[in-house]
Structure 1
Amino acid sequence: MTRTNELKYTSVEICAGAGGQAVGLHNAGFKHAALIEIDKDACQTLRQNIARHSEWDGCQVIEADLNEFPSAQLAIPRGTLDLLAGGVPCPPFSAAGKQLGEDDERNLFPAMFRLVDELHPKAVMIENVRGLLDPKFSDYRARIVQDFERQGYEVCYWDLLEAKDYGVPQLRPRAILVAMQPEYAKYFQHHKPEPRELVTVGQALHDSMRARYDAVDDPRADWAFKRWYEKALEGVAPTVVGGSKKHGGADLGPTRAKRAWAELGVCGLGIANEPEDTKDVERDLFAPVGPKLTVTQAALIQGFPEDWKFSGRKTAAYRQVGNAFPPPVAQAVGEQIYAAFEAAAEAEGL
């Protein structure tokens, strides 16, 4: 996954997490002015990766509660920002929770709209779970559209995008909203990708899994790798989940998800240590079902670049990965927003 456009348009991202959407939008040609996130481990992840990439120079990482964050801190004059993006918290609309929607204290749509009003960006991109598109939230969605219209925006689309259609080896449907000021909205073209051969778990993890088995001196390694690889070529992963801070350690999800992982030769009962930290090969590599995934491998399933590193202890790092927006999907949406800006500039002779 590489950058496709000149770094030409500015962006601010809220609820930035570990940077999945930020990586995708950067690769689409957006230069981040700020990434705002409340979790300290995720903020450290952002800082350490930004420090290693000179193209990210000038990007602030701001650890803050969005409900209390003053946009004046950004020092961005109203109307000059190109894109305001964010994956507002999913639990209020997730089928895995109580789906309290706007009544959930974690609902940050009001905070997002406050920033839209104060910054008045040319475009807004919001990512959330598919549950937000359920019929029970139709009235709330209508009010969101009306709020955009009152602020002078057109909602270009609100659609369900499936990560596996963008080369991500995972089932991960996300509800994506794009709104733009009218002079740009008329040039926005929303299109989903052409049908393509799916990238399987085996293809995505072949090299990293081979390296893990090669790092142990065990006569079972070749056989175990081949057993895993044969199964892992069969399909894409179930949705990688980050879980709640209130519940236990990291694993690969509920019972149904663990069964789906087992069919791909992966043990979902926990997360493995990275190869250099492996102490229990029976647990991490030779479980009866197959190997457990490392945090790095889970990130590859999400579509992160291999050199993107995650801060914090294993559970905190995995939670960041599981809650991320796959970079290739964010990049595809960002490229369409970028193209609309370019078309508008060309039409105006700029």
Structure 2
Amino acid sequence: MSTADRLTSIEICAGAGGQAVGLHAAKFRHLALVEIDRHAAATLALNVRENPAWKWEREHCVIINRDVNTFKPLEEVPNPSRKGKKGNSGKHGEEGDFLKPGELDLLAGGVPCPPFSAAGKQLGRDDERDLFPKMLDLVDQLRPRAVMIENVRGLVEPEPKFRYYRNHIKNRLRKSGYVICGWNVLEAQDFGVPQLRPRAILVAIRKDQYRGFDWPVPRKKITTVAQALEESMARRLGGKDSPLFKQWWDKASLGTVAPTLVGGSKKHGGADLGPTRAKKAWNALGVNGMGVANDEDKTIDRDRDLGSLAQERGPMLTVEQAAIIQGFPKDWRFEGKKTAQYRQVGNAFPPLVAEAVGRAIAEALQRTGELREDPDPEFEPEEDPSLTAVQESFPPS
């Protein structure tokens, strides 16, 4: 359904829009964004409704706020090229208006990371939150030209941990007619994000569309926390000549990128900047990681939010500044109260990384010429032979 300047996408587990923002910057236009969290879904709806750059989505994109397991794209997502025209039945608004298999350019999703996160129990496929099976079912239903799946580094590194589950996922895609372009760990700091945030990215392209794929090349220079926050910190702390700003700048300018922002979950308390090690790293950058500051126009306790010269305690980050650390554009707004907003930001996929991968996918899909052979077509073992050996040594009685 692509045109010369527009490729279409559907994204599941869209969160507050980190991946959607990046893919939008890479010239993809979203037909549907699916997200279960009501605050994040409200954020998506707000920006689609009011952000001038999202005018196309305002007319064509559906925001679906519910469990992705109930999502039925071929019954819920209109095809803009047929929207308002007569369907197969000869009536408006019936089955002829909706997407059909093979019409979508990209299916993307940041499926939940807890099953593979180093901070969790790493249950993998045994975790009820694992949505890879649903993602693969959607691939079979939609038959998109390309697939992009994002997750935490723990799914790929250390390599042996989830090897056989990764093989299962890749084999499913191969059986569905896709070329595996790679499952790479990309560092957010290599793409302009002032943060340590490695993400595991899987890209696959349908065989009848495959003319090669090149992963994005890292930038030569990183963006530091001091560079990213200089403007907003100067505004919050009274200008670049103020003692509070100078105290922050003296620390921040000695550092480079931030530790990984942690969004946390509803099971835990209020927002802060992560575990003890992360808080120490933030302190070295002149930031108090024990909480999140109120918005600039809602500051009540200035000593808490802006820091203290006497105690040499730096300011807390606002949600806006946390979004800067994630690489969100300044005009992206978040719904909900402070903690809900921060969790949306902290759990996001950095837009600049999504944009880099999205541009690589777009370039691959727009190539012309002869199709290429699958460079890695062989199916891989899905069962750990060491476990099979143990089972065989203890036959059932």
The two structures have a TM-score, normalised by structure 2, of 0.82
The Cα shift of 1:59 comes to 1.4
**Identity among equivalent pairs (%):** 57
- In the alignment, which residue of structure 2 is the partner of 1:251? 272
* Number of residue pairs the alignment of both structures matches: 338
Letter in 2 for 1:59: C
- Asked if residue 151 in structure 1 is aligned to residue 176 in structure 2, the reply is yes
Shift of 1:191: 4.0
Within the candidate set 305, 312, 320, 2:344 is matched to 320
Q: Please give the alpha-carbon distance, in whole angstroms, between the structure 2 residues aligned to 1:245 and 1:31.
A: 31
User: Whose helix fraction is larger, Structure 1's or Structure 2's?
Assistant: 1
The match for 1:26 is 24
Structure 2: 5+ residue runs without aligned partners?
78-97, 372-397
**Aligned-partner Cα distance in 2 for 1:168–1:191:** 15
Q: Is the 8 A contact 2:216 2:356 kept in 1?
A: no
* C-alpha contact (below 8 Å) 1:18/1:324 kept by paired residues: yes
Name the counterpart of 1:308: 332
Query: Residue in 1 aligned with 2:226?
Result: 202
Q: Which runs of 5+ in 1 are unaligned?
A: none
Partner of 2:376: none
- Name the CA distance, whole Å, in 1 between partners of 2:5 and 2:325: 26
Displacement of 1:192 in angstroms is 2.9
Contact 2:36–2:65 (Cα < 8 Å) also in 1: yes
- Return structure 1 stretches of 4+ with deviation > 6 angstroms: none
Q: Does 1:231 align with 2:255?
A: no
Query: Could you tell me whether the CA contact under 8 Å between 1:7 and 1:26 is conserved in 2?
Result: no
1:311 maps to amino acid = E
CA displacement, residues 252-290 of structure 1 (integer Å, 9 cap, x when unaligned)? 000000000000000000000011000110000024430
1:125 — aligned with what? 148
Equivalent in the alignment of 1:84: 107
Q: What's the counterpart of residue 86 of structure 2? A: none
SS of 1:251's equivalent? coil
Match of 1:59 among 48, 55, 61: 61
Post-superposition offset of 1:221: 8.1
Residue 282 of structure 2 is aligned to residue 280 of structure 1:
no
Contact 2:12/2:33 (<8 A) preserved: yes
In 1, the alpha carbon distance for the partners of 2:182 and 2:208 equals 16
Deviations 1:287-341 (A, max 9, x none): 4430000000000000000111110010000000000000000000000110011
2-structure distance, mates of 1:200, 1:6: 36
Secondary structure at the aligned position of 2:162 is classed as: helix
Asked if 1:68 is matched to 2:78, the reply is no
In the alignment, the residues of structure 2 paired with residue 31 and residue 69 of structure 1 have an alpha-carbon distance, to the nearest angstrom, of: 19
Please give the alpha-carbon distance, in whole angstroms, between the structure 2 residues aligned to 1:265 and 1:184: 49
Shift of 1:183: 3.2
CA distance in 1, matches of 2:234, 2:210: 47
Mapped partners of 2:297, 2:127: distance in 1: 42
Q: Distance in 1 between matches of 2:233 and 2:214?
A: 39
Deviation at 1:95, TM superposition (A): 0.1
Task: State the distance in 1 between where 2:4 and 2:37 align.
Answer: 30
| Structure 1 CA distance for aligned equivalents of residues 218 and 336 of structure 2 | 35
Could you tell me whether the CA contact under 8 Å between 2:292 and 2:317 is conserved in 1? yes
Q: Which segment is superposed worse, 68-77 or 87-96?
A: 68-77
Contact in 2 for aligned 1:179/1:185 (Cα 8 Å): no
1:96 aligned partner: 119
> How far, CA to CA, are the matches of 1:230 and 1:7 in structure 2?
45
Root mean square deviation, CA, Å: 1.7
Compared CA separation, residues 326 and 6, structure 1 to 2 (3 A): farther
Q: 1:114: Cα distance to partner?
A: 1.0
What is the DSSP-based 3-state SS (H/G/I as helix, E as strand, rest coil) of the residue aligned with 1:214? coil
SS at structure 2 position matched to 1:61? strand
CA separation in 2, counterparts of 1:267 and 1:221?
21
